[in-house]
Structure 1
Amino acid sequence: MLISVYIPLAVTAVLTVLAPRLSRRLAPRSAAWALACAALVTTVGWTGSLALLAFTAVAQIPQVAAEGHWSIPALRAEDPVHLAVAVAGALVLAVGGVSLILAAARQAHHLLWARRECARMPGDSELTVVDDDTPQAFALPGAPGRIVVSRGMLRCLADEEREALLAHERAHLRSRHHLFQTLWRLTAAANPLLRPLADAGGFALERWADEEAAAQVGSRRIVARAVGRAALASSSHASRTPTLAVTGGPVPQRVQALLAPPPPRRTLPIAGGALLLALCCAGLANAASDSDQMLDDAQRVLCAASITHTSGAPRPEGFHHGQDVCCERRIRGERAERHE
């Protein structure tokens, strides 16, 4: 546990640095899925490691040790984690938990707002044109989702560019990109180290929609012009447009990618990321196993001390009245296992 408990934390730090860079070299759809898997797995590993670190301190509280029926001195002797590290892990875990709850509430409020807005819009068609001179276009997830475009945005684009814009927003809805965003925001709330990964994920979603639009329109250059003109038109107007919009992400990089050939499929970065995630899971599993073994050994010490106490020796530290029954059951169980 001395090393394995820190492996998920180290893997999270490495992926935080490498994932945004590697995701730009992957096909956007593959990058989005890879970043989603990385965020989910590393958050589980991060939370599990912090919980194991924090438990090493909590387990030494007399009341907890009494309920768990283990010896505090034995646990303290086998525990390789410094008390200050365990307390710091507990504080980080608590802050992350509160942040996650707040982020979940915000995401739920945002999704409910989007559904209400979709329900209020007239008509049953997917496209809703708003009589507003402010250039804006975005996708609202709902049941079904809606594409909202202002007349000001439509006046800024040519016919073929309008088609590209609608194809871009339609790709957001069809691929349910808001679920990816929700995952990244929640994991970044639980683990602040994942915020760069969440930003890279947002860019991957916009690139994914760009590529889908280019495939539907049949011209990467038209989509590039639509993205550039839409961004220029909306840049001079302060708006609170939702993030599933054609103007989202670093627009110059998106335009440059659209003017280049389609990104090739790469397997090496995905294989490397999968290896790191497997290492994260293995480290967490090994740390959990070591922690369980440590508690089991501490319980054995207390049971042995209980037997010594019955022969007249003084009670050991951490031993409480009523634990004789637990130790006796444990000894009987071990004898039955040896007999079998």
Structure 2
Amino acid sequence: MLISVYVPFAVTAVLAVLAPRLAHVLPPRRAAWALACAALVAAIGWAGALALLAFTGVAQIPEIAQEGRWSVAALRAEDPVYLVVAAGSALVLAVGAVSLGMAAVGQARHFVRARRECARLSEETELVVVDDDAPLAFALPGPTGRIVVSRGMLRCLGEREREALLAHERAHLHGRHHLFQCLWRLTAALNPLLRPLAVAGGFVLERWADEEAAQRVGDRRIVAHAVGRAALASAGASLPAALAATGGEVPQRVRALLAPPLPRRSLPLVAGGLLLAACCVSLANAASDSDRMVDSAQCAAHTTTARAPSAGDRPHAPEFCRRYDSRWEVQDRRP
């Protein structure tokens, strides 16, 4: 447990460093799914490792040990984790749980607000054009998602560029990109080290929509011009919390659209999969070690409190314990 319990922390740190790079070397759609899986596994591994470390401290409280019927002395002898580490892990886990709850409430409010905005729009079509001179364009997610574009934005673009802009926003809706965003925000709230991954994920979603629009229009340069002009036109404008074509790192998106599409590479995905598998295996190993540690402490407690059975009486506790797996194994003798 001493080594394996810390592997999820190392995996999280590696993902925080490599996620921005992964967003630029993989095709956007594959990168989005890879980052989503990485965020989910890393967040679970982070929380599980913190819980195991915190348990080693909580289990040494006499009242908890009495309820669990294990020996505090044996538990301390088995566990090499310092009490201050266990206390710090419990504090970080508690703060992360509170932050996760607050983020979940915020995301729920965001979805409710988006759904209300969709209901307020009078048009029943997917595209809603609002009479506003401010250049705005964004997608409202929901059961009946809407694409909202202002007349001011339409006047800034040519006919082909308007088609590219609408295809971009439609890709956000059809790809359920708001669910990816929600996952990354929640995992980053639980584990602050995953914030770079969430930022990279937002860029990947915009690139995904750009590539979908390029396939729909048939010209990558048209999409690049549409993205650039829309970003310049809407500079300084306040957008609602929704997916928009002007989001993300616009210069990098335009540069990627003017370059050939990225090839499909398997090596980064395989390396990432092995990294996540190591996180899962190490967490399972640490949990197994913790379970054996508790069994050993319970064995020690039974050994201390067991009484010698009288003649003809069946023993009510284990008669003896011998060492197993470097510690204890409980065996019952029947007369």
Please report the TM-score for the alignment, with normalisation by the length of structure 1: 0.91
> Partner residue of 1:282?
281
1:206-262, CA deviations, whole angstroms, 9 ceiling, x for partnerless residues?
000000000000000000000000000001x33033341000000000000000001
Distance in 1, Cα, partners of 2:262 & 2:320: 61
> Partner residue of 2:241?
242
Identity of aligned residues (%): 69
Equivalent residues in 2 for 1:146-225, closer than 5 Å: 146-225=146-225
Contact map agreement 1:42 1:280 (CA 8 A) in 2:
yes
1:284-331, CA deviations, whole angstroms, 9 ceiling, x for partnerless residues?
000000000000000000111112xx359xxxxxxxxxxx96x46999
> Partner residue of 2:45?
45
Distance in 2, Cα, partners of 1:242 & 1:77: 53
> Partner residue of 1:57?
57
1:79-136, CA deviations, whole angstroms, 9 ceiling, x for partnerless residues?
1101111111011000000000000000000000001111111121000011111101
The residue identity in structure 1 corresponding to 2:268 is: P
Distance in 2, Cα, partners of 1:166 & 1:228: 14
Contact map agreement 1:137 1:148 (CA 8 A) in 2:
yes
CA drift of 1:142 comes to: 1.1
Distance in 1, Cα, partners of 2:242 & 2:20: 19
Distance in 2, Cα, partners of 1:259 & 1:329: 77
Secondary structure, aligned partner of 2:11: helix
Secondary structure, aligned partner of 1:24: helix
Contact map agreement 1:138 1:242 (CA 8 A) in 2:
no
Equivalent residues in 2 for 1:14-53, closer than 5 Å: 14-53=14-53
1:259 aligns with 2:258: yes
CA drift of 1:23 comes to: 2.0
Q: Which moved more, 1:210-219 or 1:117-126?
A: 117-126
> Partner residue of 2:77?
77
CA drift of 1:335 comes to: 5.4
> Partner residue of 1:141?
141
Q: RMSD across aligned C-alpha pairs, in angstroms?
A: 2.0
1:302 aligns with 2:310: no
Contact map agreement 1:136 1:241 (CA 8 A) in 2:
no
Structure scoring higher RCO (CA < 8 A, sep ≥ 6) equals 1
Consecutive aligned runs of 4 or more in structure 1 exceeding 4 Å deviation: 327-331
Distance in 1, Cα, partners of 2:63 & 2:83: 18
Secondary structure, aligned partner of 2:70: coil
Secondary structure, aligned partner of 1:240: coil
Please report the TM-score for the alignment, with normalisation by the length of structure 2: 0.93
Distance in 1, Cα, partners of 2:109 & 2:58: 35
The residue identity in structure 1 corresponding to 2:238 is: S
> Partner residue of 1:320?
none
Contact map agreement 2:319 2:331 (CA 8 A) in 1:
no
1:180-218, CA deviations, whole angstroms, 9 ceiling, x for partnerless residues?
000000000000000000000000000000000000000
1:23-46, CA deviations, whole angstroms, 9 ceiling, x for partnerless residues?
210000000000000000000000
Aligned pairs, number? 322
Contact map agreement 1:53 1:86 (CA 8 A) in 2:
yes
Distance in 2, Cα, partners of 1:186 & 1:329: 51
Q: Which moved more, 1:16-25 or 1:48-57?
A: 16-25
The residue identity in structure 2 corresponding to 1:224 is: A
1:90 aligns with 2:78: no
Distance in 1, Cα, partners of 2:263 & 2:32: 15
Distance in 2, Cα, partners of 1:106 & 1:12: 24
Contact map agreement 2:103 2:186 (CA 8 A) in 1:
yes
